[in-house]
Amino acid sequence: MASTSTAPKQFSLNAGQVSAGLARDRLWHVRSGSGRLRFLVGGQLIGEMPLPESGWFVVPESAHLRVCIQAESPVVFEARLPMALIPRLGDLGRAQLVAPIRQMMTAIGIDDSLVDWPVKLSQPTFRAWLAEALDRALIAEEALSPDMASPLITENTETTLSRTELPEPERAFGLVVLAGLVSVITVLTGLLALRVLDSPAFGLDAGYGFLLLGCVIWMGLSLVALDRLALAVSNARWVSLGGAWITTSALLFWENTTLGAAMLGVACLVALAYWIYVRRLLPDLPSIDQPMRWLSIRLTRDGVPSVRARVRAVWQEATEWVVARIELVAEYSRFSRAILAAGLVIPAMAGTYDEEPAVLMGLSLTALVLLERLRGLLPVEGKKSAGDDELFPSKPLSLGGEVHYESVVFRRHAGEKPLFDELTFHAPAESLVRITAAEGAGLSTLKHLLIRKVVPEKGRVRIGGMDVARLDASALSLSVVMLDHPKDGEARTLGDWLFIDPVIEAATLEGHLHALNATHLIEQLKDRLNASMGAVAALAGPLGMHRLKLARALARPGQILWLDHWLLGLDSTSRSYVIQQLIERPGTRFVVDRNGLLTGPADLHWEVPRA
For 408-450, write each residue's pLDDT tens digit.
888 877 667 888 888 888 888 888 888 888 777 778 888 888 8
Confidence of residue 288 (pLDDT cuts 50, 70, 90): low
Residue 26: in which H helix or E strand, if any?
A: strand 26-32
What pLDDT, on a 0 to 100 scale, did the predictor assign at position 136? 85
Largest CA distance in the chain: 107
3-state secondary structure 220-238: HHHHHHHHHHHHHCCHHHH
- Say which range, 199-213, 279-293, 509-523, has the weakest mean pLDDT: 279-293
All CATH 3.40.50.300 domain ranges in the chain, comma separated: 403-608
CATH H-level superfamily of 403-608 = P-loop containing nucleotide triphosphate hydrolases (3.40.50.300)
* Three-state secondary-structure class, residue 406: strand
Q: Does the pLDDT of residue 330 top 70, yes or no?
A: yes
Confidence of residue 29 (pLDDT cuts 50, 70, 90): confident
Q: Where are the beta strands (DSSP E) in 137-253?
A: none
All CATH 1.20.1560.10 domain ranges in the chain, comma separated: 169-386
All CATH 2.60.120 domain ranges in the chain, comma separated: 2-140
Q: Does the pLDDT of residue 301 top 70, yes or no?
A: no
* Three-state secondary-structure class, residue 452: coil
CB-based contacts of 49-53 (< 8 A; 24+ apart in sequence) = 49/103, 49/104, 49/106, 49/107, 51/75, 52/99, 52/100, 52/103
CA distances from 242 to 180, 264, 323, 525 (A): 8, 13, 33, 46
Separation CA 591–CA 598 (nearest Å): 9
Separation CA 313–CA 467 (nearest Å): 27
Cβ-based neighbours of 353, under 8 Å, separated by 6 or more: 256, 360
Confidence of residue 553 (pLDDT cuts 50, 70, 90): confident
Looking at the DSSP bridge assignments, the partners of residue 409 are 458
Residues in the chain, how many?
611
Nearest to 581 by CA among 503, 527, 512, 529: 512
Confidence of residue 167 (pLDDT cuts 50, 70, 90): very low
Mean pLDDT of 350-364: 80
CATH H-level superfamily of 169-386 = ABC transporter type 1, transmembrane domain (1.20.1560.10)
Separation CA 531–CA 494 (nearest Å): 6
Q: Using one digit for the tens of pLDDT, what is the confidence trace for 241-255? A: 888 888 888 888 888
78 and 28 Cβ atoms separated by less than 8 Å: yes
Q: Does the pLDDT of residue 5 top 70, yes or no?
A: no
Q: Does the pLDDT of residue 282 top 80, yes or no?
A: no
- Say which range, 70-84, 93-107, 122-136, has the weakest mean pLDDT: 122-136
Q: Tell whether pTM > 0.85.
A: no
Q: Where are the beta strands (DSSP E) in 418-524?
A: 420-427, 432-437, 458-463, 466-467
292 and 318 Cβ atoms separated by less than 8 Å: yes
Separation CA 104–CA 275 (nearest Å): 71
Rounded to the nearest integer, the mean pLDDT of the chain is: 78
Fold (topology level) of 2-140 = Jelly Rolls (2.60.120)
Identify the residue with better confidence: 312 or 477. 477
Lateral strand order in the sheet of 10-13? 2-3, 10-13, 75-82, 26-32, 56-59
576 and 604 Cβ atoms separated by less than 8 Å: no
CA distances from 129 to 25, 38, 62 (A): 12, 22, 11
Confidence of residue 316 (pLDDT cuts 50, 70, 90): low
Separation CA 112–CA 102 (nearest Å): 7
Mean pLDDT of 471-492: 81
What pLDDT, on a 0 to 100 scale, did the predictor assign at position 164? 43
